[in-house]
Amino acid sequence: MSQNIKEKYGQLVKQLEEISRLGGIRGILHWDQEVILPEGGHGARSKQMSALAGVIHEKSTDPDLGRLIDSLHASDQDLFDANQRCNLREAKRDFDMETKVPRELVQEISELESRGHHVWIKAREQNQFSDFAPVIEKFVELKKQWANHIDPHKAPYDVNIDVFERGASMEQINPVFKVLKAELVPLIQAIQESEYQPEDSFLNGDFPVDKQEALGRVISKDIGFQFDQGRMDVSVHPFCGGGHPSDVRITTRYRRDNFAESLYAVIHETGHGLYEQGRPREEGDLPSGESMTMGIHESQSLFWERMIAQSKSFCRHYLDLFAATFPEKLKNVGLDEFYEAINVIRPSLIRVEADEATYPLHVILRYEIEQGLFDGSIRVRDLPKIWNDKMEDYLGVRPPNDAQGVLQDVHWSGGAFGYFPSYSLGAMYACQFYNALAKSAPDLDRWIETGNFQEIKSWLNKNIHSQGRLFSTEELVQRVTGSLLDPKQFMEYLKKKYGAIYRLKGLN
């Protein structure tokens, strides 16, 4: 590499790192808003976020940055290594996207994101969808405008999906979700009609929050979360945030009446946190070291929550600790009883509390609604009824109020349209990653049973976390599992697992 090109690349690195670090500051401000911001501070915070978004947009659209990127792209690409080529590719994509959107629109969206979150919290608390409806209407309008600036030749909803799931579109997602819906509805029905229904009443009761918190921290640390480079707090909606792999902030929420739901929320967010802490540090704040799509990110949380922590081997390892923590409810519960209880399939109202068989239907419902909002076939004012009707059709339950229905999720308060598909794509990726690990590690069950989670974490670090953005999602999944996204593997897993638990016969 010539000295001139080397100097130019060094300049690019410096500018990209500055933009990334400003994004890290935005991440900490978001965490602060969710966790500890005083009630009266939301108005000022929305303006702070808007101002910061403006600064980031200005630096991201600097004409000198564009000329530098173009100059390096015009150079012989063989002069750069894989990480450098990734940085150039991602820098050009981001610059092209940023320069297509007016700064005023970026700031308007950012301010609405901050303000909308506060409106959502209040509307949810007071069960008043009408208070939140204007926020959704404005977001759909702004997100359509934003999408038309990015790519006027694509459907606006596809452009929004691409933010979270690079390269994905309705054309690709629709047939996958069609398979899931067609097979999940009869599977869930068969489970509900089974003569054998596991007992899980011992999971309900009064579980002190301080004991839940201590238990969650123990298990989070056991599976690899580094608390000297992260922290765990409480928020209305659990999430993983922060500003750098050395400063990862995960949050959860606790229910006194069901410790298992709280515990598995901790494990879920820990999975996200392990991904963030496992990103390549040598790449600093550069694009090549960033995490991939939200589907891959979600695969890591679901890998730990569903594939590992809901396994019988995991239950065997921790059952004594569970019983010692909550002896009044669990001291006489056997291994099989506990394993079956935490894997009960029961249609419910709340997505984040749903089991792994009904969960995808929650996602599909939201995905279909978002499609309707963007193509104009669904009006915002009709959302509560449409939501409730779909819940009844797909899951056989009907929300008694909007707080437990259309107002339950945080995503629309931040304009995150197109995010929901990533949850179920992540579940399918998690299943395929687990199958790949099991093939390469015959002692996997023994690792889990003995608490040897380091081997599992190391495999994920090597094959997924450390890869940053070097590959597309399809390339990464192909490299790790030997196949592309395959909903059949997910359905086979569900049928095998729950066919055994519920004593079902004839599943195919």
Residues classed as catalytic: 269
31: its two tokens:
């965490």
Q: DSSP letter for 127, please.
A: T
Dist CA 438 CA 70 (whole Å): 44
Q: DSSP letter for 498, please.
A: H
Dist CA 469 CA 43 (whole Å): 36
Dist CA 327 CA 329 (whole Å): 5
CB 88 within 8 A of CB 73: yes
Dist CA 380 CA 384 (whole Å): 9
Dist CA 86 CA 331 (whole Å): 53
At 253 the three-state DSSP class reads: coil
Residue type (1 letter), 470: L
SS3 content of the chain, % helix, strand, coil (to 5): 70, 5, 25
Dist CA 435 CA 422 (whole Å): 20
Q: DSSP letter for 175, please.
A: H
User: Cα–Cα–Cα angle for 108, 109, 110, nearest 5°?
Assistant: 90
Residue type (1 letter), 88: L
Dist CA 166 CA 289 (whole Å): 16
Backbone angles phi, psi at 79, to 5 degrees: -75, -15
Backbone angles phi, psi at 111, to 5 degrees: -65, -40
Task: Note the residue count of the chain.
Answer: 508
The pairing of beta strand 240-244 with beta strand 247-252: antiparallel
